[in-house]
Structure 1
């Protein structure tokens, strides 16, 4: 008996894989499986007027195939049939039906409540409040603009019939946020009030705020500390020298219920958990040295981006326009990026789209074609980079009479934009800086930042300056801002900027979690750039004023244990190469798209041959999982830094298993060493990437952005190592999908591709504190 494994309710526009499997084999019976000379044929049918109609041009072959359903067919049933073609007893071909599956696509634009928070916006510390103060509840939503969200504030222990009383409602604004205010004292139970008035020191209560839309509910997680001001004052008067701390937690747990969707277990990162209490005097926490909280709390739209993003924006503005004006100009830049990306702040946001919910890794050069065809190109990124902008930055060559308007030129342009889309926000901010560098002396105000993106001719002009006259293309593209029907003036084009900046005041960050708190401020980097790795998870990169001759291309790695003893792990080489793009596609003949400058047979694990092209691309050939193929890794203009993982190191233990992929990112290596140091485990690794950033047979190990390790096949050790990689800032951890891996926590299902190794990637670079002497 065979079955089709796959999502029977796939989301529109998302690629889903479907696999034919023996039902018994699926339960790990080795006697069953694919026979020799069997051919699997997949056919798709659409339900039309109660009949199944075959979808033409959609025949697929193999044990595992992808399907992507469009938004237009949401709610329409489809039937997937798999036939097996094989030789019968008479050595003749026969075709038999093996399995069927009915799938019904669902919309990609599902209405969801993503997160609920409770804050005291009247205080610098938003997580504290007096019992009689007002608290703001916010629900962050998707596809619910204009809808009404109902909020409930309730105390643990309240009877079920009392739990959801006194609801408040709010309409979701254009940014997907609904907010209401609560006076906490209106929602405490009589027993809680009595505890405060009687001076009970052992009060421990939990409060929850829930946001609801139809059957969708989300309860918040981030806590607020609440105190009784009157009782606190009485305590201070009666016991000025022996003030006793009394506390009890208000914890807010997260629970999500979606129609037809399983409960999400790891929606929020552990960093949102903070100590909480409700009592007469809140317990004091140790002070935090988080840079975001000290310096970047007033950045508009800061709540929409990461800690690393905020720091990078302010750093760029300080370098371009000076330390004294960095926040003023950073606010201007944030307002511009909000307008250009419709508030997504995504590197892969494309012109013509109001959201960037797709996965950048799934984009191709055709993703940048406009409706007019392949000889077109959509702008992309945080400030919507256009061809003109890229030419002005010397990122793309200007056209010649021979190349202007040709298909190869458009393909090259869209390939460059694809690299921009896939480089991520932090790296793309360097490109944003490059765009402004040539004009930084002309840009005097935050308004000029906006104009340099939208209308460079308006930079430095007065507000009445006429930018676009009627009858021009630029006027027609912006005529909605012409209120007087007399052409578009500078002040009119700036209205969008002011609207964005003013709205952004409501979205400053209230969560500070960069983790940059040094354990030892006295450490000095001498002679060599050194990574100091602490048992607490902190990683510091110390850069000395002067690097000793011979050490310019080397890094040192040191681990600090619980007793603050230093353990030198290694000194290793680093080098610069060009960043490569990940490539999902296998090809079965050697790529010949560019002039070949090197073609060599190699013996490097599964890699047998490597071809290097004049344009920097690399093609590699070899075998994996019974298939032999080529994979092309396209080169970009962006640089990438790699370190060589030494064959042997001190204090920690690892070894290579059948691989020459012995290069990785410097930060990835630091996190990997930290995980080994705190666990004491000795592990085998299949490495990261090759010297130039390629990584056959893998798609996503390019640029050393992930590290694979062999399982211990011991639940205790495997879980310990997974937890330590998470602790040292690897945000992506993929394991296999057989029953053993279902017992592991803090991993995602990486499919049977990861049945023999753990994949850890997406290292959080914001956790590296750079210290320059």
Structure 2
């Protein structure tokens, strides 16, 4: 219970305290661009679903988003100048209380009446303790958000609340617990439900859930910079941005294990759970990542390149295995020569190369697969 109550009480700087330049409020400006990109991603997914591929139609739809956000940002600047700045009362009241308390102290020293009431102070730095309203609902009403808890030791739990908060019925939250027992909220993502596919993109009777990885385009970095994860590049002309939610938890865990903010994401499935070219890329359970470059920029990297970071790739493959990948089947790579040793093969992979026709290669990307869904522990809160 003490731990639960601890989550209810949070100390932070009041929204009614700010410097003259409104630095804190100006940070919101960056969120407009993030929101715009999220809306564009949703629109592109909708256009894909409708089969609209003409560039001029797609550009028109995205230009409308740009214009709308330009208008919203303009209104926001007026809001800050005309309403928020005049309403910042905290600093003025705190200073007045400090002066009043000084006067009150001087008077009380000269007054023998010990029943004189004393003023309480607002903090001069604008910080105070508050009750977290969402946490209040989460812990005491039983309502909350379905949440994946990813632990540094490889454990993954999916917590399902008794009741889902209104507006979060189709959302999953992802949380990481690091080795120092610090909790990192990675984000809340929209759950896309579509028909499951069999190999060959044959629709099935049941549905599957998918997460659009592009919603994680900004990645995550902790306030101290010690915990981070991000895809440096997204590389799919066929918009294969969709991954199974359980698999996403396993992928995030592996990335956070190495603080990887340098991966190149080539894709899993399309919005309708279909594969493109590779038949195994269905239902968001298998996908491609670029091999890791010493430049740490998500660039195209072949196994034969001098910039291929063998050691870091081996660490990442181990992390993938730790968080559930390559358990039910090995991942796909190729034999290559490393330090004059031919037929070198990365950990937890098998050689997958076939000559045309109907051939395939894996010298320029790692195919991750074999996720063990039994690793996910379902917890009913």
TM-score computed with the length of structure 2 as normaliser: 0.51
Q: Does 1:649 align with 2:219?
A: yes
Aligned residue for 1:728? 323
Q: Secondary structure at the match of 1:704?
A: coil
Aligned residue for 2:47? none
Aligned residue for 2:123? none
Q: Of 702, 705, 710, which residue of structure 1 is paired with 2:290?
A: 710
C-alpha contact 1:736 1:756 (8 A) present in aligned 2: no
Deviation, 1:575, is 2.1
Matches within 5 A, 1:224-373: none
Aligned residue for 1:577? 194
Aligned residue for 2:314? 719
Q: Of 262, 271, 274, which residue of structure 2 is paired with 1:691?
A: 271
**TM-aligned CA distance change 1:526 to 1:670, over 3 Å:** farther
In structure 2, C-alpha distance between the alignment counterparts of 1:547 and 1:638, rounded to whole Å: 23
Aligned residue for 1:537? 154
In structure 1, C-alpha distance between the alignment counterparts of 2:232 and 2:210, rounded to whole Å: 19
**TM-aligned CA distance change 1:673 to 1:526, over 3 Å:** farther
Matches within 5 A, 1:416-435: none
Q: Secondary structure at the match of 1:708?
A: strand
In structure 2, C-alpha distance between the alignment counterparts of 1:526 and 1:722, rounded to whole Å: 37
Aligned residue for 1:640? 208
Residues 449-471 of structure 1, C-alpha deviation per residue, up to 9 Å, x if partnerless? xxxxxxxxxxxxxxxxxxxxxxx
In structure 2, C-alpha distance between the alignment counterparts of 1:755 and 1:743, rounded to whole Å: 11
Aligned residue for 1:556? 173
In structure 2, C-alpha distance between the alignment counterparts of 1:675 and 1:746, rounded to whole Å: 14
In structure 1, C-alpha distance between the alignment counterparts of 2:177 and 2:366, rounded to whole Å: 26
In structure 1, C-alpha distance between the alignment counterparts of 2:191 and 2:350, rounded to whole Å: 31
Deviation, 1:533, is 0.1
Aligned residue for 1:673? 252
Q: Secondary structure at the match of 2:361?
A: helix
Greater radius of gyration (CA): 1
Deviation, 1:744, is 2.5
**TM-aligned CA distance change 1:692 to 1:764, over 3 Å:** same
- Considering Cα pairs closer than 8 Å and 6+ residues apart, tell me whether 1 or 2 has the greater RCO: 2
C-alpha contact 2:197 2:203 (8 A) present in aligned 1: yes
Aligned residue for 2:134? none
Alignment: residue pair count: 202
Residues 395-451 of structure 1, C-alpha deviation per residue, up to 9 Å, x if partnerless? xxxxxxxxxxxxxxxxxxxxxxxxxxxxxxxxxxxxxxxxxxxxxxxxxxxxxxxxx
Matches within 5 A, 1:4-403: none
Deviation, 1:707, is 2.3
Q: Of 735, 748, 755, which residue of structure 1 is paired with 2:363?
A: 755
In structure 1, C-alpha distance between the alignment counterparts of 2:143 and 2:361, rounded to whole Å: 44
- Runs of 4+ aligned structure 1 residues displaced above 4 Å come to 523-526
Q: Does 1:664 align with 2:239?
A: no
Q: Secondary structure at the match of 1:668?
A: helix
Q: Secondary structure at the match of 1:638?
A: strand
Gaps in structure 1 of 5+ consecutive residues? 1-522, 584-632
Deviation, 1:694, is 0.8
In structure 2, C-alpha distance between the alignment counterparts of 1:770 and 1:543, rounded to whole Å: 7
In structure 1, C-alpha distance between the alignment counterparts of 2:251 and 2:350, rounded to whole Å: 19
In structure 1, C-alpha distance between the alignment counterparts of 2:258 and 2:248, rounded to whole Å: 16
Q: Does 1:565 align with 2:135?
A: no
C-alpha contact 1:656 1:687 (8 A) present in aligned 2: no
Q: Of 334, 344, 348, which residue of structure 2 is paired with 1:742?
A: 344
In structure 1, C-alpha distance between the alignment counterparts of 2:211 and 2:235, rounded to whole Å: 19
Q: Secondary structure at the match of 1:753?
A: coil
Residues 331-354 of structure 1, C-alpha deviation per residue, up to 9 Å, x if partnerless? xxxxxxxxxxxxxxxxxxxxxxxx
Deviation, 1:656, is 3.9
**TM-aligned CA distance change 1:542 to 1:743, over 3 Å:** same
Deviation, 1:726, is 0.7
C-alpha contact 2:146 2:159 (8 A) present in aligned 1: yes
User: What RMSD, in angstroms, separates the aligned Cα atoms of the two structures?
Assistant: 1.8
Residues 35-60 of structure 1, C-alpha deviation per residue, up to 9 Å, x if partnerless? xxxxxxxxxxxxxxxxxxxxxxxxxx
Gaps in structure 2 of 5+ consecutive residues? 1-137, 221-227, 293-307, 354-359
C-alpha contact 1:722 1:733 (8 A) present in aligned 2: no
**TM-aligned CA distance change 1:526 to 1:677, over 3 Å:** farther
TM-score computed with the length of structure 1 as normaliser: 0.25
Deviation, 1:643, is 1.3
